[in-house]
Amino acid sequence: MRTSPAIQLIAALLVAGAVWAVDHKSAAHLSRLTWSYQADWFGGFSAIHVSDDGSYITAMSDRATVVTARIQRDGDQLSGVQITAHWPLLSSTGRPLTGPVGDSEGLAMAPDGGLFVSFEGVHRVAYYASPGARAQVLPRPKAFDGFEDNGSLEALAIDRQGRLYTMPEENRTAQGDIPVYRWDGQNWSTPFVLPQQGEFLPVSADFGPDGRLYVLERDVGWTGFRSRLRRWQINHDTPQEEEILFQTGTGAHDNLEGLSVWRDDQGRLRATMVSDDNFLALQRTELVEYLLPD
């Protein structure tokens, strides 16, 4: 999500005094770490992927930069981040992406190790075979044409069959539901919708190792950010057994936009999230982890 005057005001209010009350619901907050690094390209993280063993992350900013890093932990506590590499996302012609065309938001790891990336600004999904590779842009359905410029494809997930799922942050069906679009390698379809609940909007998604669909949602108000995590069983293209795993109070975390669900070495489900600081000094890049119920 791009910076706006409202976001800047929210950041100032957060610094002035955050309310750290969190309604944990069925999830337990494990750890939070402020991640900082002195480089012009660092910040604005809108997506994250955690390796199967929890030791490495791949993060992506909304200014078309991908970062890999090693995560350090002390028990259940995040203790450090060591960046191992970074590179710019390129266009299909090999040029670095900048401006609205480079508003990269969602990230999904392909089975072959490549990256799928969803974009706002110019609403599309592209595949990158390797770091520094040119974009291979997927065909765009007509439905993408009507999306809001700053409220479209923030969430991107991939299931066990290698199918991609994305959803707009703001646009809704005539019935008020969240449309979910799926790419099966040949065509786009809309296999199901998710219920809109309250003011929260979807900003990230992931299929966990349990096969369930997890959606991270955000609510932006004049006094700060709230976050919510929901999940569903998807059976025969029908979302079932909706659960709200946590819903925070205002200011509990910064602007959480990226989500990755994985199992730790004890077999427990974890959700790792990253915040988008909008490249503002008054905000911060946070890594946040929750323990999830099975």
For residue 61, the model assigns a pLDDT of 98
Residue 144 · residue 151 · CB < 8 Å:
no
The tens digit of pLDDT for each residue in 59-79 reads: 999 999 999 999 999 999 999
Give the DSSP per-residue string, 34-56: E----STT---EEEEEE-TTSSE
CB-based burial, 65-87: b 16+ in 10 Å, e otherwise = bbbbbebebeeeebeebeeeebb
SS3 60: strand
For residue 26, the model assigns a pLDDT of 82
Span 156-182, average pLDDT: 98
Strands (E), 145-237: 155-158, 164-167, 178-183, 188-194, 201-207, 213-221, 224-235
Residue 102 phi/psi, 5-degree rounding, is: -105, 20
For residue 19, the model assigns a pLDDT of 32
Tokens encoding 41:
């390209």
pLDDT band at 7 (very low <50, low <70, confident <90, very high): very low
CATH architecture classification, 5-292: 6 Propeller (2.120)
pLDDT band at 1 (very low <50, low <70, confident <90, very high): low
Residue 67 · residue 60 · CB < 8 Å:
yes
| H or E element, residue 223 | none
Residue 147 pLDDT > 70, yes or no?
yes
The tens digit of pLDDT for each residue in 86-130 reads: 999 999 999 999 999 999 999 999 999 999 999 998 999 999 999
pTM confidence score: 0.91
The tens digit of pLDDT for each residue in 29-58 reads: 999 999 999 999 999 999 999 999 999 999
The tens digit of pLDDT for each residue in 206-261 reads: 999 999 999 999 999 888 999 999 999 999 999 999 999 999 999 999 999 999 99
* Nearest-10 Cα torsion for 138, 142, 147, 151: -20
Residue 203 pLDDT > 50, yes or no?
yes
Tokens encoding 290:
């929750």
Q: Which of 9-18, 180-189, 217-226 has the lowest mean pLDDT?
A: 9-18
For residue 130, the model assigns a pLDDT of 97
For residue 222, the model assigns a pLDDT of 82
**Starting at the edge strand that comes first in sequence, how are the strands of the sheet with 77-88 ordered?**
45-50, 56-61, 65-74, 77-88
Distance in angstroms (rounded) separating the CA atoms of residues 172 and 180: 10
- Residues sharing a CB contact under 8 Å with residue 161, sequence separation 6 or more, in sequence order: none
Residue 27 pLDDT > 80, yes or no?
yes
Residue 194 · residue 183 · CB < 8 Å:
no
How many CA atoms are closer than 13 Å to the CA of 179, on its beta-carbon side?
Answer: 18
Residue 162 pLDDT > 90, yes or no?
yes
Domain map of the chain by residue range?
A: 5-292
